Structure 1
């Protein structure tokens, strides 16, 4: 057997002002064939797992390029086409192949392309023909379009949010692919449109129980190969935005369709109950101050670089400064220029510094402070599950009892190791201010005395019924009260 694998992924917030070009991929991950590290990243686990599987089976694995850019705005058309054509050329050179196993995100949008993944998959299908297996692992915060469904045999999506299971799901993807290639099964994908868009953290009920039920069904139904919820991505203004339910069966399309609809309607019945309650910046700071001990984690949930925002909002920090709060560590605020200034000044320097709130309206005002540059780190990174997430050159600055990490590569706050990377002990602070919607939960919940979810400013279009969509469908909840009418 000869298998081809590659990865091309980013998550596009079409409302974000931060354009993506080739440099953004190179800053995060751009690995030529055979150069992908042994440690997987969020959307490239099919490559590292594929190495293990093909070695075990005695099959040949031909690796293409793996590219990942941290979430932001639209990808430049030339950049997408260059990265796409690189993979397409590698596949042409690898032919003939028995299967194509990809790592994708599913929410990429490029200038001129509402559905880059559909475009890539359709081109791959045209090369390999109708009988070669084509499959992919994807992030659930994505758009499942008719074009990509028609081009692939099946998809497996992460079940967990936080996405702690991306390696496990890659193993599931490869397991189905191997069994199919050996002729043991015939995977058939059934898709149900839930006619909604929502946010589905699996760290709390009711989504925790829903996902546990999916896993139990997979184990109890012999002909059921995989179940996935495609959460959808509300910051992507594309025609097929929305939540879907995916069932993969062993050549049982009627069974898959019925199960997908049953589960999809059950999910719809729980709409609006999934997301954790959020408070504004004043209530968040008040709650943190009232806590008997620390560290209290305040999550700035909508200024989340993992959702394509800049990660430079200062609304909560400004509230803390106004109230004279101390014993605070902030991780992080994206400001490459401020980082450059700190590196030029050097460790130990005391300088006037303006930082933050430069990317978009409704993110607060820049902070002006006399700061001490405590620590400078090149190419800093933090843990994220079995992987590492870079956050670029970083500077730890201190002023008025507050520590702030400034970073040059946007990244959400996945893990407390982001503080340790700069020499800050996160457990020693009363308050930790981080930027993430829910990916932080698995790791930060282990050290937090309390977690406060804060909605501050408007850096992210988190109210779909009020969002100024131009392309997204309007026939789903909450844009309409009853999409089934």
Structure 2
């Protein structure tokens, strides 16, 4: 068997002013054929798992380019088309192939193209013909378009949020691809549109039990079940929550299961997201805790959702309440980092940092700071992945420490702090910029976890977000999208 594999992935916040160009991919991951590292990124696990699977079976794996950029705004047209055409040319050179395995995110939006993944899949289908198996992995915070479903044989999304299972889902993809190529199954996809916009953390009820039951249902003719959560910061026509059921040649069964699961999600709409505190409430509660560390999640200034990650709202509140022993990880400010590197470790300098990217991110901080640590290649762990966030600087002032970073990344793991010389267990308060991906790694060490809604750098209320392209017959824009009235 000859299998072609490649990855083209990023998550586009269409409200973000930060345009993604080729340099953004190069800063995160741009790996031409054969140069992908042994460890996967979030969306490239199909490549690293594929190496192992194909080696064990004696199959030929032809690797194309793998590209991942940390989430931001629209992808530049030349960057999108350049990466797309690069992969298509590599596939054309590899023909004939028996299968195509792709690592995608699913929420990419480019200048002039609302559906880059659908465009890529459709072009691949045209190249390889109707008989070649096309499988792809997706992030659940994506947009499941009709074009993608028509072009692919199997689409599987991560089940967990935080996405701790991205390698597991890649293994599912390869297992089903092997069964398909060796004639044991004839997979078909069925999709149910839940007509809703919501957030579905699987670290808490009701989504925790829902995912556990979904996994238990994957047996016999039910090959795979996925929930596409949707990505509320993507203003595209087909945004929203959907359920995918992959069955062994039984689309009617798949349709029934997808509809039942989708109806359950819709019945719980608005109950999935974790409760959030205001900045003054979160800081006061963390400050009152008898022991630390208490984790405050700045949930809407999340670079993993396409924001800059430079909001200072919680930092200003810490200062206002006179908190000491807090460490902020991170505030994105490449200029401030450059100034800290020029001054050197141990230097004391006047510094203005933060709140440069957009409204509703607070005000820049002006302080005389000490440069406590510098790391030109700072990175943190995320499961089997390594996530760069450096060059980075750690500064201290007024009893508070702040990690300033150059490469935007949300807080996934306590190694964010240890990479900069901080013992997270010794801190009273740890502030991280993440909606929920941090939870799996921080829950074992945190005395308490507080979710804080601080400002609106991210469009977090779909009922009032000024969408231009999102359909109107979707909850909460429409109170009852399943009513029969127009």
Determine whether 1:400 maps to 2:398: yes
Matched, 1:87 2:87: yes
The residue aligned with 2:101 is: 101
What is the CA distance between 1:292 and its match in structure 2? 1.1
Aligned-partner Cα distance in 2 for 1:185–1:484: 34
SS of equivalent residue, structure 1 residue 348:
coil
1:148 corresponds to: 148
Matches within 5 A, 1:49-198: 49-198=49-198
1:154, CA displacement in angstroms? Answer: 1.1
2:387 equivalent in structure 1: 389
Secondary structure at the residue paired with 1:218? Answer: coil
Structure 2 regions of 5+ residues with no counterpart?
none
CA distance in 1, matches of 2:123, 2:66: 17
Q: Deviations over 1:227-249 (max 9, x none)?
A: 00000000000000000000000
Mapped partners of 2:450, 2:420: distance in 1: 24
1:176-325 alignment runs, 5 A limit: 176-219=176-219, 222-325=220-323
**2-side partners of 1:483 and 1:464: how far apart?**
14
TM-score scaled by length of structure 1: 0.99
1:39 aligns with 2:72: no
For residue 333 of structure 2, what is the aligned residue in structure 1? 335
Shift of 1:459: 0.6
Write the deviation string for residues 41-63 of structure 1: whole angstroms up to 9, x where unpaired: 10000000000111111100000
What is the CA–CA distance in structure 2 between the aligned matches of 1:216 and 1:150, rounded to whole Å? 27
1:356 equivalent in structure 2: 354
Secondary structure of 1:453 counterpart: strand
Q: Does 1:478 align with 2:454?
A: no
Match of 1:8 in 2: 8
Which of 23-32 and 321-330 deviates more? Answer: 321-330
Instruction: Tell me which stretches of 4 or more aligned residues in structure 1 moved more than 4 Å.
Output: none
**3-state secondary structure, aligned to 1:202:** coil
CA deviations on 1:375-401 (whole Å, 9 max, x unpaired) are: 110121001011111102000001111
Q: Deviations over 1:298-320 (max 9, x none)?
A: 00000000000000000010011
Looking at structure 2, the residues matched to 475 and 279 of structure 1 have their Cα atoms a distance apart, in angstroms, of 30
Kindly state the Cα deviation for residue 323 of structure 1 after the two structures are TM-superposed: 1.6
Q: Work out the CA distance in 2 between the residues paired with 1:49 and 1:289.
A: 44
* SS in structure 1 of the partner of residue 7 of structure 2: strand
After superposition, the C-alpha distances for 1:445-483 in whole angstroms (9 at most, x for unaligned) are 111000110001011001001000000111110001100
- Alignment-derived partner of residue 457 in structure 1: 455
Counterpart Cα distance in 1 of 2:43 and 2:77 = 21
1:64 aligns to what SS in structure 2? strand
Secondary structure of the 2:218 match is helix
Which of 374, 377, 382 aligns to 2:375? It is 377
Q: Specify the SS of the correspondent of 1:458.
A: coil
RMSD: 0.5
Matched with 2:430 is: 432
Distance in 2 between residues matched to 1:8 and 1:406, nearest whole Å: 28
**Cα deviations by residue, 1:6-31 (Å, 9 ceiling, x for unpaired):** 00000000000111000000000000
Q: For 1:327 and 1:400, how far apart are their aligned partners in 2?
A: 10
User: Which stretches in structure 1 are left out of the alignment for 5+ residues?
Assistant: none
Matched residue SS, 1:298 = strand
Secondary structure at the aligned position of 2:43 is classed as coil
The CA deviation string for residues 95-121 of structure 1, in whole angstroms up to 9 with x for no partner, is 000000000000000000000000000
C-alpha distance in structure 2 between counterparts of 1:44 and 1:379, whole Å: 21
DSSP 3-state at the match of 1:30: strand
Q: Deviations over 1:65-121 (max 9, x none)?
A: 000000000000000000001000000000000000000000000000000000000
Matched length: 483
User: How far off is 1:420 after superposition?
Assistant: 0.2
Distance in 1, Cα, partners of 2:441 & 2:234: 28
Matched position secondary structure for 1:127: helix
- 1:206-230 deviations in whole A, cap 9, x for unaligned? 00000001011113xx101000000
CA distance in 2 between counterparts of 1:429 and 1:422 reads: 13
Q: Which residue of 2 aligns with 1:27?
A: 27
Rounded to whole Å, the distance in 2 between the matches of 1:58 and 1:251 is 28
1:290 Cα shift? 1.1
